[in-house]
Chains A and B, each alone.
Chain A
Amino acid sequence: MVSSGTSRAAGWFCALTPVELLAAAGLAPRRLLGGVAPAAAAAYLTPNLCPYVRSAFAAALADEPGGLARPAAVVFTNSCNAMIHLHGAWAGHLKPAFTHLLSVPRHTGDAATEFFAAALGGLLDALESFAGRRVTDDDLQAAMAACDELRARLRAAYAGQAASPPPLSARGLLEAARAAVLLPPAAALAALRETGCAPPPAAPQSPATPQDIVCPGPRPVQARPRRPRLLLTGSVLDPALVAAIQAAAGAAGADVVIDDLCLGSRYAFLGEEGGTGGATGTGRDGLLRRIARAYLERPPCPRMARGERREAHVLGLVRRFRCDGVLAFALKFCDTTLYDQPRLKTALAAQGVPALLCASEYGAEAAGQVATRVGAFVEML
Chain B
Amino acid sequence: MRWPRVDWPWKDGAGRVGAKDRWAGLKTQAQRAFLEHLAPRLVRSGLLYDVGERLARLRAADYPPRATGVMAQAGLSLVRRAYSRRYRRRVVWTNVFAPTEILYAMDLLPFSLEAAAATAASLGLAGYLLDVAERNWYSSDSCSFHRCALGAALAGFLPAPAALLCTSHICDGAPKAFARCAEAAGRPLFVLDTPVVTGGGAAAAAESYLARQIETAANEISRLTGSALRPERLREACRLSNEARRWMLECAALRRDRPAPVTGAQSLGFLFAVFTMQGSQAAVDVYRTLARELAARRRDGRAAVPRETARLLWLHLYPFYPNGVLTFLEQGHGAVVVAEEFTHVYWDDLDPHDPFASLARKCLSHFGYGEASRRARAVAALAQEYDVDGVIHFSHWGCRQSCGGVRLIKDELGRRGVPLLALDGDCVDRRSYAEGQTLTRLAAFLEMLGVPAGHGGGPITARG
The interface of chain A, by Cβ under 8 A from chain B, is 43-46, 48-50, 78, 80-82, 84-85, 87-89, 91-92, 100-103, 105-107, 111-112, 114-115, 118-119, 121-122, 125, 302-303, 305, 307, 330, 332-333, 335-336, 338-343, 345, 357, 359
Whether B115 sits at the interface, judged by CB under 8 Å, is no
**23 A-B interface contacts by CB (under 8 A):** A45-B404, A46-B406, A48-B403, A78-B370, A81-B404, A84-B371, A87-B372, A88-B371, A89-B372, A91-B373, A103-B198, A103-B202, A106-B191, A106-B193, A111-B213, A119-B198, A119-B206, A122-B202, A335-B143, A335-B171, A338-B141, A339-B179, A342-B180
Given the complex of chains A and B, what is the CA–CA distance between A294 and B371 in angstroms? 26
User: Distance (Å) between the CB of B458 and the closest chain A CB?
Assistant: 36
CA–CA, A46 and B406, complex, Å: 8
Say whether B196 faces chain A, with CB atoms less than 8 Å apart: yes
CB neighbours of B197 from chain A (8 A)? 103
Is there an interface contact between B403 and A49, defined as CB atoms closer than 8 Å? yes
A111-B209, A118-B201 known; A105 vs B195 contact (CB < 8 Å): yes
- B93 lies within 8 A of chain A by Cβ: no
Chain A neighbourhood of B400, CB < 8 A: 48-50, 80-82, 85, 333, 335
Query: Given A82, A106, A122, A345, which contacts B200 in the complex, CB threshold below 8 Å?
Result: A122
- B: contact size bracket: 35 or more
Stretch with Cβ within 8 A of A (4 or more), from B78-86, B100-108, B131-139: B131-139
CB-defined interface of B269-296 with A at 8 Å, one 1/0 digit per residue?
Answer: 0000000000000000000000000000
Whole-angstrom CA separation of A357 from B407 in the bound complex: 33
Instruction: Report whether over half of chain A's contact residues are helix, strand or loop; otherwise say mixed.
Output: helix
Alpha-carbon gap, A345 to B197, bound state (A): 36
Does the CB pair B180–A343 fall under 8 Å?
A: yes
Closest beta carbon of chain B to A79's beta carbon, Å? 9
B227 within 8 A of A: no
Query: A88 with B408: in contact, given A48-B397, A48-B398 (CB under 8 Å)?
Result: yes
- Measured CB to CB, the closest approach of chain A to B163, in angstroms, equals 15
Cross-chain contact B191 with A81 (CB below 8 angstroms): no
- Is there an interface contact between B401 and A115, defined as CB atoms closer than 8 Å? no
Q: A118-B201, A339-B138 are in contact. Are A88 and B372 (CB under 8 A)?
A: yes
Select one of B136, B137, B202, B401 contacting A81, CB under 8 A.
B401
Contact A43 B180 (CB under 8 A): no
A88 touching B141 in the complex, CB below 8 Å, given contacts A105-B195, A122-B202: no
Is B193 within 8 A of A305, CB to CB? yes
Task: Please give me the residue from chain B that is nearest to A46 by CB atom.
Answer: B403
Given contacts A339-B176, A343-B183, contact A43 B195 (CB under 8 A): no
Query: Judging by beta carbons under 8 Å apart, are A105 and B193 in contact?
Result: yes
**Chain A residues with CB under 8 A of B371:** 84, 87-88, 91, 101
Chain B residues with CB under 8 A of A82: 400, 404
- Chain A residues lying within 8 Å of B401, measured Cβ to Cβ, are 81, 84
User: Does the CB pair B173–A122 fall under 8 Å?
Assistant: no
Task: Give residues 391-426 of B contacting A (CB, 8 Å).
Answer: 395, 397-398, 400-401, 403-408, 411
Given contacts A92-B411, A305-B193, could you give 9 more A-B pairs where the C-beta distance is less than 8 Å? A44-B407, A88-B404, A107-B193, A114-B209, A122-B199, A303-B172, A338-B138, A342-B136, A359-B141
Nearest 10 pairs of A and B residues by beta carbon: A88-B372, A85-B404, A118-B205, A339-B176, A115-B209, A342-B137, A81-B400, A122-B202, A103-B196, A103-B195
